[in-house]
A and B are shown apart, each in its own frame.
Chain A
Amino acid sequence: GNSVTQMEGPVTLSEEAFLTINCTYTATGYPSLFWYVQYPGEGLQLLLKATKADDKGSNKGFEATYRKETTSFHLEKGSVQVSDSAVYFCALSDQGYKLSFGAGTTVTVRA
């Protein structure tokens, strides 16, 4: 079956530090890959996505590249801000509507 494995948190960083959250996946087909973010007290919202190998998704300074050879979709940001404090979820879909989410990684950025 499909599954997503994310780097365990929590992750605590200082402002302007570099952030990487590792995500690897297992899928039977050719999935689409996503990063969702959940800010405190809110629902999840799509951060970025990639639908085929070597695609790079980017948004709000975050980037992730779909690597088929390593079955990975790591999230990176070069300089984090306090406002980036949130829970980040990696997810995949290869059955149309059904998303498989990772466990989530809590990121805290300190001023």
Chain B
Amino acid sequence: DAGVIQSPRHEVTEMGQEVTLRCKPISGHNSLFWYRQTMMRGLELLIYFNNNVPIDDSGMPEDRFSAKMPNASFSTLKIQPSEPRDSAVYFCASSLGPEIGELFFGEGSRLTVL
């Protein structure tokens, strides 16, 4: 069975450019999460969707970050404009429902902003 699929796996871009990260959750999962992982701050929850609706975006760093989930099988995280401090690994995860049982993580998108 396919797990959570993220793309791209690696992205190198220059400061000021727009970055779009993509995620396909596991079919049938109703909850989707975007996390950011850095050495300094560890794993941080950026945004949580349930049934395609954003429920909690309190972790989104600032207006440069936006996330959408137009349907149950696709989500994007966009950074515009990107800055060097955005360099991190971004993980998408999905689960069957809002009550935490098991989160299934993708392999992550490693972003480097020069």
Interchain CA distance A32-B95 in the complex, whole Å: 16
8 A-B pairs with CB atoms under 8 Å apart are A32-B100, A44-B43, A46-B103, A96-B99, A97-B55, A97-B56, A99-B100, A101-B42
Chain B: number of interface residues, binned into ranges: 20 to 34
Do A43 and B108 touch (CB < 8 A)?
A: yes
Do B100 and A44 touch (CB < 8 A)?
A: no
4 additional A-B residue pairs with CB within 8 Å, beyond A96-B98, A101-B42: A44-B103, A97-B31, A98-B100, A99-B45
Do A98 and B93 touch (CB < 8 A)?
A: no
The answer, yes or no, to whether A69 is at the interface (CB within 8 Å) is no
Q: B102's closest neighbor in chain A, by CB? A: A46
The answer, yes or no, to whether B107 is at the interface (CB within 8 Å) is yes
Interchain CA distance A104-B91 in the complex, whole Å: 15
Please list the residues of chain A having a beta carbon within 8 angstroms of any beta carbon in chain B: 32, 34, 36, 41-46, 49, 89, 93, 96-99, 101-104
**A96 cross-chain contacts in B, Cβ below 8 A:** 98-100
Assess A98 versus B107: contact at CB under 8 Å? Given A32-B100, A43-B4, A43-B91.
no
Binary per-residue interface labels of chain B (63-102) against chain A in the complex, 1 for a CB within 8 Å, 0 otherwise:
0000000000000000000000000000101010011101
Report the minimal beta-carbon distance from B58 to chain A, rounded to whole angstroms.
10
Report the minimal beta-carbon distance from A94 to chain B, rounded to whole angstroms.
9
Interchain CA distance A46-B95 in the complex, whole Å: 12
